[in-house]
Amino acid sequence: VVQLANEWRRVRRVKMRTVDLPVLNLTGNDYAGAERAYTENLGGLLREGYEKYKHGFYQLFSPTGFLVIASADYVQEISQLPEGTLDFHGATQRRMIGDYNWLQVGDTLLAHTILTDVVRQLGNLLPVLQEEIEYCFQNVLPPCQATWTPGNIQKLAPRLIAIIMGRVFVGPDLNRNKEWVDNVIQFVDDVFAAGWKIKAYSHFARPFAARFLVAETRRVQNQKAMARRLLVPILRDRLASLNEPGAEKHLDLLQWLVVNNAKSPHPKTLENLAELALVAYVGSTHTAATTLTNILLDIAARPNDLEVLRNEISTINLEATGLDLKQSFYINHTSKLDSYMKESQRLNPAFLMTFSRIVRKTFTLSNGLTFPAGTHFIVPASRISLDPEVWENPQEFDGFRFSDLRAKTPENIHKYQFTGTSPQAMHFGYGRNACPGRFFASTTIKVFVAHLLTNYDIKLSTKERPPNDATGSQNSVPQDAEILFRSRQ
């Protein structure tokens, strides 16, 4: 009876509105219909919402309850609220995992380590990334020939990214262990699939469903056990050699997690660290794979642009130059490629909405609106990217839009970068919890594209680039687009 009462309260909470704002997808009490519209037609709902409430707020009912869709006008103000008022990790947990905690996805130590150590080491990581990319071209992609060969990039991209970035997460030895690589790829797929499936059950039934009904959540528990089995001995060695003079300072996330954890006033167990390393794959694999695939589809669809990008890449003979030059090239002298990546992301972002935050303490905005604790904010990043008041000819793909803008005035030179975030460019989120992996993703994608265009020709198998396809906020690459590859002629 107590459990039933709790469940009743929880269901009420999911359906409870914290604010009196219009709800775009709810007619009467048809919550199931609203959820369906959210899952199948979020793009259409966001378009309508933007036309009606661009400078204000409205709501959508989603599988995780009411979402308050916030205008870009207030992003800056909201992002400055203190951490105790605005909760990013709780919001991620609710939207991805469905409240019942079969996996902990948000963590400050992980985000901090990616933002500080991975970014600081990006220059030193270039040869490592290059090596992994060459390995992937030899072992993951189909053999390249002089004639056009189809390569199913949509399918292969998550494996490519998991291997390339995995080298930086777990080091060279484990990254060649097939059991590990296959399992992490399966793990990421399972986390996303399980998230959707679990949310279909009532809160009351979720622990039972996770244990007995949803195969993916059970597999996730096995994959976590595998991560502990394979990673804890490595982490233990790293910890033991931390203060040994002359001990090797490994260039990987495991090492940096151990170092940062040792400095923490509340250190985590090595088992916790092993799971965090696994969770790094969740944040990076699908997001970076989707972004890379979109960029390749956009380049393959435009042969003239491909030549412009090739010219930029060939301005430095990457094979012959030293690390400093390569580093500076990738980070500072790829404004056309950087622009292309940003334009591709503007029109085909991995998520239709970002900046998901739950209010933990009631607050009032400068416009007088009060948002009680429990309000769940989110921002329609994909619509802001299509706003003609923000971007000229927003529907048009102009790969060099951002490099042209950067070249316009000296003040613009550092603006409009792929990794830049602002209330007008929110595909990596915004503020304190903006994606810490975006610099790593940017460099990895650049090294990949530079290698590809230097050694291969690519084109689309179809005349037009097929459109992407969203389920809820997740905007997936088209499954029917095919890129053809051949060795460069």
List residues near ligand HEM by CB under 6 A: 88, 106, 110-111, 114, 165, 280, 283-284, 287-288, 291, 350-351, 354-356, 427-430, 433-438, 440-441
**348: nearest Cα among 165, 162, 154, 160:** 154
Residue 154 and residue 145: Cα distance in Å, rounded? 20
Q: Tell me if 232 sits within 8 A of 274, measured CB to CB.
A: yes
Q: Which is nearer to ligand HEM, 109 or 209 (CB)?
A: 109
SS3 370: strand
Q: Which is nearer to ligand HEM, 195 or 429 (CB)?
A: 429
Beta bridge partners of 354: 379
Q: Which is nearer to ligand HEM, 57 or 440 (CB)?
A: 440
Q: Tell me if 377 sits within 8 A of 68, measured CB to CB.
A: yes
Whole-number minimum distance, CB 148 to ligand HEM, in Å?
Answer: 28
Q: Which is nearer to ligand HEM, 65 or 106 (CB)?
A: 106
Whole-number minimum distance, CB 475 to ligand HEM, in Å?
Answer: 10
Q: Which is nearer to ligand HEM, 159 or 427 (CB)?
A: 427
Residue-by-residue DSSP string for 390-434: TSSSTTS--TTHHHHHHHH-GGGGGSS-TT--BTTB-BTB-GGGS
Q: Which is nearer to ligand HEM, 197 or 427 (CB)?
A: 427
Whole-number minimum distance, CB 114 to ligand HEM, in Å?
Answer: 5
Please list, residue by residue across 402-438, b when 16 or more beta carbons sit within 10 angstroms of its beta carbon and e when fewer do.
bbebbeeeeeeeeebbbbebebbbbbbbbbebbbbbb
Whole-number minimum distance, CB 29 to ligand HEM, in Å?
Answer: 31
Q: Tell me if 246 sits within 8 A of 231, measured CB to CB.
A: no
Q: Which is nearer to ligand HEM, 361 or 432 (CB)?
A: 432
Q: Which is nearer to ligand HEM, 290 or 335 (CB)?
A: 290
Whole-number minimum distance, CB 226 to ligand HEM, in Å?
Answer: 20
Beta bridge partners of 357: 377
SS3 87: strand
Task: Quickly tell me which residue has 């009462």 as its tokens.
Answer: 5
SS3 42: helix
Q: Tell me if 254 sits within 8 A of 234, measured CB to CB.
A: yes
